[in-house]
Amino acid sequence: MTWHLQPDEEPDAEPTSFAMMCVVCGENSGADQDWEDPQKWVLGHCGRNPSHLTYREIVTRPWRTWMASP
């Protein structure tokens, strides 16, 4: 038997989510299934904190394993 790994696209898989984190202070946008809200958070955060120019994207994607006969 051989194990395989792939993104979980089953109907009951948890959704992929996106978040942004400020590398300068560690604050983050919180996770969202849509990219738009984390992006808006970054723009607002850097507007309030002009020296905070570096951000990290955090993507949470579900994965699954499955076994196949050789």
pTM here is 0.82
pLDDT at 69 over 80: no
pLDDT of residue 1: 81
- 54 located within any domain: yes
- 5 located within any domain: no
Compute the distance between CA of residue 21 and CA of residue 31 in angstroms, rounded to an integer: 10
Compute the distance between CA of residue 12 and CA of residue 3 in angstroms, rounded to an integer: 21
Give the pLDDT confidence of 5-46 residue by residue, as tens digits: 999 999 999 999 999 999 999 999 999 999 999 999 999 999
- 26 located within any domain: yes
Number of domains present in the structure of the chain: 1
Q: Mind spelling out the 3-state secondary structure of 44-65?
A: HHHHHCCCCCCEEEEEECCEEE
- 47 located within any domain: yes
Look up the domain containing 45 and give its range. Answer: 13-63
- 68 located within any domain: no
- 8 located within any domain: no
- 4 located within any domain: no
